[in-house]
Amino acid sequence: MPAPELRPATPADLDAVLAFWHLAAEDAHRPADSARALEALLARDPEALILAVDPATAELLGTVIAGWDGWRCHLYRLAVHPGRRRAGIGRLLVAAAEARFRALGGTRADAMVLDENDLAHHAWRSGGYAPQPEWSRWVKPL
């Protein structure tokens, strides 16, 4: 299979991204994603949502949000199509996100990973990421 094309999402991609996340992403413990939220993300940072797309079929194979707030580098919604896992797509997406962060001046990236998502733990560890035991995430729904 040819290597996937990596590109930023466009507004035309958002419905497909939401459908893809229902298929390929972990959705526990979170409010539902919405087109409105993705539109706001792209309006604020048009290159934050990186897609991996099959160049022959245009099928969406993977996603990652590489969020940069000017201070920190945050990775969210790394997802790979279940039928294409273990083919290096996640690694390509994370490498693209890290390259983006370096170009923006970032020095450290963090990833949001659910505690019980063992498959994700393996993927992140293989990429050089590790839990940071002295920190806990505190949240408040708005």
**Neighbouring residues of 64: CB distance < 8 A, sequence distance ≥ 6:** 49, 50, 75, 76, 77, 78, 79, 90, 93, 94, 96, 97
Six-digit token string for 50? 């990186």
124 against 10, higher pLDDT: 10
pTM of the model: 0.92
For domain 5-126, give the CATH superfamily. Answer: Gcn5-related N-acetyltransferase (GNAT) (3.40.630.30)
Taking residue 27's Cβ as centre, other Cβ atoms within 10 Å add up to 12
pLDDT digits (tens, 9 = 90+) for 12-50: 999 999 999 999 987 666 777 899 999 999 999 999 999
